[in-house]
């Protein structure tokens, strides 16, 4: 009996060891599969696997093209196991292992680092399969792509309305659970217009669309579970940062920077660049319009926005993330209310960026203020106006006689100039034109003095240039006539005496 009990206990111990070995082997296989997937994604993007597949038209089950879909059952089991086991280390302790060597890092830390990379892979696969879905469903409803920018909502609406665009009003209640009332009404109107010349896909093509849409929903479901798993680890550590960009992006930023303190010290302009692949590789995930396709770009606030405003929104989010990280570091708001407040501010700014520009009506010009202009009057002002007014000759040149050919002349440049009535003067005579002297060109006093000085200097130079042999020397005649200046200062008696001396005949008669 004792031997039987010993054998039974040994069998129980061996069964427990086998179960532990089986669980550990499953965990090792999941970790190895995730590591292989991350390594494969480093060299080949999901866009190359899905969109550049050589036989994409012959594929019926698109789940075969997904690298994440086979790992979904193991990931769900791992998440359930981690959520039930409360004895795992805290997220703060996990971040403390960043600087450790790979040998001393725990399995839980390796798993969290791996699923951080897995979230970007899932986002890229969702984007690739959504592009494939839109390419195929565009034949049925081409305007749906512009009406629904969210890829997951697009797949849900495709599964709801199918190809029945005529009876789309029957699905209006289901559509309102996904989108707002205004957008659902616009969607119904567009579908009814498209139903007039509708195109029906074959059963095989429709089955492909259904499988692609279901695959997108399953990938989104595992992404939400991954987000909830990280959120449970991150809720007590960085609540404000997680409230803005979500737990997945928050965890990625913390692992990329190393700690919450390093994230708080990081400049806001460097936040969008965290998570970008090496620019030298050919498989970088940068889009056509935006280069900074990092962790913030794949957050829920940014990835479904139009490309025109994504760069501005990432700049706004980066500043708020740094503020939230500093608040979490100081532990001034552990409930995360400030993070929710920042998120509401970001959403209002996004709404303003998405809003169309306001139509400003044409504003009429204000009525002019009728104030009499202040003009200077007086004789000087009138004289000045007379100098610049049009002369009578110019006025006559601007007139033409009816029924008579105008006389013309040619100027020095060969241009023909009309004379108008300047020749006839209105009465066939030039003398009838009254010439106004006030319109003549005038010269200032300073200019007149300057020209006079130049003329005097020119005469002196000409004098010395003459030939002196031609000059005839003659004795100058003595001028006995008194000067005017002298007679001005002499008295009357002196003037009479001077006259007598100058005229001797008259002097004799008087004697």
pLDDT score of 314: 92
pLDDT score of 118: 80
CA distance linking residue 233 with residue 76, whole number of Å: 16
Long-range contacts (CB closer than 8 Å, 24 or more residues apart) made by 310-314: 312/353, 313/346, 313/349, 313/350, 313/353, 314/271, 314/272, 314/290
Residue 44: count of CB within 10 angstroms of its CB: 14
What string of DSSP letters covers 255-273?
Answer: HHHSSHHHHHHS-GGGTTT
For residue 367, what is the DSSP state?
P
Identify any residues that bridge with 409 across adjacent strands, giving them in sequence order. 417
pLDDT score of 280: 36
Strand pairing category for 408-410 and 416-418:
antiparallel
Number of H helices, E strands in the chain: 21, 2
CA distance linking residue 398 with residue 96, whole number of Å: 97
Helix (H, G, I), strand (E, B) or coil at 246: coil
Q: Which of 170, 172, 173, 138 is nearest to 154 (CA)?
A: 138
Per-residue pLDDT of the chain (511 residues; tens, 9 = 90+): 455 455 545 554 544 444 444 445 555 677 777 777 777 766 666 666 676 666 667 777 777 788 888 888 888 887 777 666 554 555 555 555 444 444 445 566 667 767 777 877 888 888 888 888 888 888 888 888 888 888 888 999 989 888 888 888 888 888 888 888 888 888 888 888 888 777 788 888 888 888 888 988 988 888 888 877 776 766 667 889 988 988 888 888 887 787 788 888 999 999 988 877 543 343 444 445 677 788 888 888 888 888 888 899 999 999 999 999 999 888 888 888 899 999 999 999 999 998 888 888 888 888 888 777 777 678 888 888 888 888 888 888 888 888 888 888 898 888 999 888 887 765 545 556 777 777 777 788 888 899 999 988 887 766 555 555 555 555 555 555 555 544 444 445 555 555 555 555 544 544 5
What string of DSSP letters covers 379-442?
Answer: HHHHHHHHHHSPPHHHHHHT---TTSPPPEEE-TTS-EEE-TTTTTTTTT-GGGSPP-GGGS--
Helical H segments across 235-306, by residue range: 239-245, 247-257, 260-265
CA distance linking residue 64 with residue 179, whole number of Å: 31
Sequence-distant (≥ 6) Cβ neighbours of residue 462 within 8 angstroms: none
Per the CB < 8 A criterion, the answer to whether 126 and 219 are in contact is yes
Sequence-distant (≥ 6) Cβ neighbours of residue 418 within 8 angstroms: 397, 400, 406, 407, 408
CA distance linking residue 342 with residue 240, whole number of Å: 9
CA distance linking residue 151 with residue 129, whole number of Å: 9
Residue 318: count of CB within 10 angstroms of its CB: 22
What is the 3-state secondary structure of 119-181? HHHHHHHHHHHHHHHHHHHCCCCCCHHHHCCCHHHHHHHHHHHCCCCCCHHHHHHHHHCCCCH
- Which phi and psi (to 5°) does residue 404 adopt? -120, 145
What string of DSSP letters covers 62-117?
Answer: GGGT-SSGGGHHHHHHHHHHHHH-TTSPPHHHHHTTTTS-TTTS-HHHHHHHHHHH
CA distance linking residue 339 with residue 243, whole number of Å: 5
Q: Which of 241, 240, 307, 318 is nearest to 274 (CA)?
A: 318
pLDDT score of 16: 45
CA distance linking residue 35 with residue 229, whole number of Å: 19
Check the CA dihedral 212-214-219-224 and report its sign: positive
In CATH, 238-280+290-354 is 1.10.246.90: yes
CA distance linking residue 222 with residue 236, whole number of Å: 23
């Amino acid at each position: 009996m004792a031997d039987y009990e010993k054998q039974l206990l040994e069998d129980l111990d061996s069964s427990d060891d086998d179960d532990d070995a089986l669980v550990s082997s499953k965990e090792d296989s999941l970790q190895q599969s995730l590591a292989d997937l991350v390594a494969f994604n480093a060299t080949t993007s999901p866009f190359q696997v899905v969109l550049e597949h050589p036989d994409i038209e012959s594929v019926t089950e698109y789940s075969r093209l997904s690298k994440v879909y086979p790992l979904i059952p193991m990931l769900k089991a791992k998440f359930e196991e981690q959520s039930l086991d409360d004895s795992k280390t805290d997220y703060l302790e996990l971040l403390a292992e960043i600087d450790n060597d790979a040998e001393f890092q725990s399995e839980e830390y390796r798993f969290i680092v791996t699923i951080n990379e897995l979230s970007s892979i899932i986002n890229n696969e969702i984007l690739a399969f959504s592009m494939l879905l839109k390419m195929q469903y565009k034949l049925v409803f081409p305007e749906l792509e512009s009406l629904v920018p969210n890829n997951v909502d697009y797949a849900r609406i495709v599964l709801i309305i199918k190809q029945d665009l005529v009876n789309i009003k029957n699905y209006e209640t289901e559509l309102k659970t996904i989108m707002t009332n205004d957008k659902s009404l616009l969607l119904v109107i567009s579908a009814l217009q498209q139903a007039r010349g509708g195109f029906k896909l074959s059963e095989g093509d429709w089955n492909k669309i259904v499988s692609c849409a279901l695959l997108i929903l399953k990938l989104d479901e595992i992404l939400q579970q991954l987000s909830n798993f990280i959120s449970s680890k991150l809720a007590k550590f960085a609540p404000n940062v997680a409230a803005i960009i979500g737990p997945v992006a928050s965890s990625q930023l913390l692992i990329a920077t190393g700690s919450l303190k390093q994230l708080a010290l990081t400049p806001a302009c460097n936040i969008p660049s965290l998570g970008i692949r090496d620019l030298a590789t050919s498989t970088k995930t940068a889009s056509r319009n935006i280069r900074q396709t990092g962790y913030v770009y794949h957050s829920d606030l940014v990835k479904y926005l139009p490309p025109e405003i994504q760069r501005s929104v990432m700049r706004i989010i980066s500043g708020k993330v740094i503020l939230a990280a500093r608040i979490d570091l100081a532990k001034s708001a552990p409930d995360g209310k400030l993070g929710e407040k920042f998120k509401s501010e970001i959403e209002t700014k996004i709404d303003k960026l998405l809003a169309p520009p306001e139509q400003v009506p044409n504003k009429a010009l204000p009525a002019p203020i009728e104030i009499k202009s202040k003009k200077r009057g007086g004789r000087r002002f009138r004289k000045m106006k007379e100098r610049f007014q049009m002369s009578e000759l110019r006025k006559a040149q601007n007139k033409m006689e009816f029924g008579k050919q105008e006389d013309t002349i040619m100027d020095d440049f060969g241009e023909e100039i009309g004379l108008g009535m300047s020749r006839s003067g209105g009465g066939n005579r030039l003398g009838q034109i009254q010439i106004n002297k006030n319109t003549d060109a005038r010269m200032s006093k300073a200019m007149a003095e300057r020209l006079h000085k130049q003329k005097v200097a020119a005469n002196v130079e000409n004098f010395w240039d003459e030939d002196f042999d031609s000059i005839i020397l003659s004795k100058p005649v003595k001028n006995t006539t008194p000067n005017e200046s002298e007679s001005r200062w002499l008295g009357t008696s002196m003037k009479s005496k001077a006259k007598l001396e100058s005229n001797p005949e008259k002097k004799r008669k008087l004697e």
